[in-house]
Amino acid sequence: MANDRPNSMLKRRKLVVTAVVAACFGFALGATEWAQADAPTAPALSISTNTAPQQALVALPDFTPIIDRYGPAVVNISSTTNKVIHQQANPFPPNSPFYQFFHHFMAPGQNGSGPQQHEKIQSLGSGFIISPDGYIVTAGHVVRGANHVVVTLTNHHAYPAKLIGLSVRYDTALLKINAKDLPTVPLGNSDDMKVGQWLLAVGAPFGFYNTVTQGVVSAMNRPLPDDEYIPFIQSDVPINPGNSGGPLFNMKGQVVGINDQIYTNSGGYMGLSFSIPINTVMRVVQDFKDHKAIQFGYLGVEVQDVTPPMAQALHLKEPVGALVASVMPGSPAAKAGIKPGDVIVTYDNKPVYNVGQLPPMVGNTLPGTQAKVGILHRGAAETKDVLVTALPKNMAGPSGSQEPAQPAQVGKVSRMGIHVQSLTPNIEKQLNVHHGVVVVGVSEGAAAEAGIMPGMIIQQMDQQDVNSPTELEHIVASLPANQPIPLLVRQGKASIYVVVTLPKK
């Protein structure tokens, strides 16, 4: 920034000099014309002009009808949050010679700790009106934790807003302002969207109100790690801080999504934008308006990706689907007969290509729905009828009390390079596991290469349940060498399949 100011001043001076020179040159030219007034003049140059209107050579989309008709229904949202900050305490003890020196720069604290201070943080976002009586939809993170929310319309009228409901899992919020006869936006069907379709975003990036940007659909049903229940719309529509909560229009002028987040390394737009589908949004909004608790579908499985080595180990034709790593006891999946090692390839007659697609499919299923789940069980295709239930409020595993150590069977599996012991009742209760062996030592070998570490629990080997060290030794002895073998292990309260390749006997 320090170099911009001199350069701009230099440009201004050049403009002034150029203007003066042009004025002087014009005066000299006028004097010359006056001196040669009696000289013969050259014939005038004839320039042909065509005043008839011409059509554009290339047809591009014109977004002005959408903005003219539905732009007034897009609002700006300002929220204020009170944040408590703790002032840094004096790092030196009172008897230190540096204590008084440092004390001059700090506010006085009590017992060596800094006092609390309250700081108001203001943030800007966007939203859109869905009903003439003042219901407004926005992204949940725009107003989450806010003490005061103000909605400003395009006519500059500002209204205090009341938060009707907010879902963290769906990052959706519903606001209400006290107004009537407001302009509204029509809602589309996000399930009908196709990759390549034109899109239009309206919002307030960096506080620049009523900004319009355009792009196309880049991908549909895009999963993101921190929002497993949202099948995002990915686009290349430029979105920046302040666009959050604003509408994403299709070419019919219908809202098909809420602009929610971007993928960036710099804090600004880098070509990857993600929006929440309007079908997902309105399911939550309707529950807000009806004052109902939001429920999520629950299958009761932990799943992971099917990598090419894992597909080979499971004897699958291609690496697709969601590999079931564990099944919760008594869950809908357990009651339907789904087991660890099964690969879910369809859900409710929709294909499941990767693990990220399954959670939003299940989460958006209404509890009480009978869903057909297509699986591959040891390579054979099966269909399970699963009665989807509501996601339990407390998903944490049971916490057991400490018990005296129980005697455990210990064994060595030389072909894997590990020492294992049988489960104790304490481990079974704490981790809610009912079979497997605990890895107590790892040396160089097949297990170490697969990432096995002490403390892990081996539950399956080649899709066969393991109940004791002796049983694991027998299973390993019967397996071929130099071929990928699926191994189910549990670390803490999470289970995962890994691939292990055994050496020759």
Catalytic residue (one of 78, 79, 126, 141) = 141
CB 239 within 8 A of CB 273: yes
Fold identical between 297-390 and 410-501?
yes
Q: Which residues contact 468 (CB under 8 A, 6 or more apart)?
A: 409, 411, 422, 437
pLDDT band, residue 181 (cuts 50/70/90): very high
* More confident of the two residues 304 and 398: 304
Cα 163 → chain centroid: 23
Closest CA to 178 of 159, 163, 164, 165: 159
Contact 384, 376 (CB under 8 A): no
CA atoms of 82 and 78, how far apart (whole Å)? 14
Strand partners, 119: 83
Helical H segments across 48-191, by residue range: 64-70, 99-103, 140-143
Q: Which residues are annotated as a binding site?
A: 141, 171, 242-244
Query: How far is the C-alpha of 248 from the C-alpha of 320, rounded, in Å?
Result: 31
Taking the C-alpha atoms of residue 187 and residue 144, their distance in angstroms, rounded to an integer, is 24
* Residue 235 falls in the annotated catalytic set: no
Terminal Cα-to-Cα distance of the chain (whole angstroms): 69
Spatial distance between the Cα atoms of 119 and 121, rounded to a whole number of angstroms: 6
Query: What does the block give as tokens for 161?
Result: 């807003």
The pLDDT-based confidence of 102 (bands split at 50, 70, 90) is low
Give the C-alpha separation, 231 to 252, whole Å: 22
Whether 174 has a pLDDT exceeding 90, the answer reads yes
Check whether 6 has a pLDDT greater than 50: no
Active site residue 474: no
CB 430 within 8 A of CB 467: no
pLDDT of residue 204: 92
Provide the pairing of β-strand 410-413 with 418-422: antiparallel
For residue 178, give both structure tokens.
């006290």
> Are 384 and 337 a contacting pair, CB within 8 Å?
yes
Q: Does domain 297-390 have CATH number 2.30.42.10?
A: yes
Verify whether residue 141 is a known catalytic residue.
yes
Report CA torsion sign: 25, 31, 34, 39: negative
Choose the catalytic residue: 79, 167, 171, 235: 171
This prediction has a pTM of: 0.69
What is the reported pLDDT for 37?
41
What CATH number has the domain spanning 410-501? 2.30.42.10
If pLDDT is split at 50, 70 and 90, which confidence band does 139 have? very high
CA 267 to chain centre: 15
Q: Assign domain 62-87+116-294 one CATH number from 3.50.50.60, 2.40.10.120, 1.50.10.20, 3.40.1550.20.
A: 2.40.10.120
| Model confidence at 421: pLDDT above 90 | no
The string of pLDDT tens digits covering residues 35-84 is 344 445 555 555 555 566 677 676 778 899 999 999 999 999 998 876 65
pLDDT tens digits for range 305-334: 899 999 988 888 899 999 999 888 889 999
User: Quick one: which H or E segment has residue 64?
Assistant: helix 64-70
For residue 156, the number of C-alpha atoms closer than 13 Å in the C-beta half-sphere is 0
Spell out the domain ranges in the chain: 62-87+116-294, 297-390, 410-501
User: Which residues, in sequence order, are bridge partners of residue 456?
Assistant: none
Comparing CA positions, the residue from 136, 139, 121, 137 lying closest to residue 239 is: 139
Can you say which residues are annotated as belonging to the binding site for substrate? Answer: 141, 171, 242-244
List pLDDT tens digits, range 106-131. Answer: 554 444 445 556 667 778 899 999 99
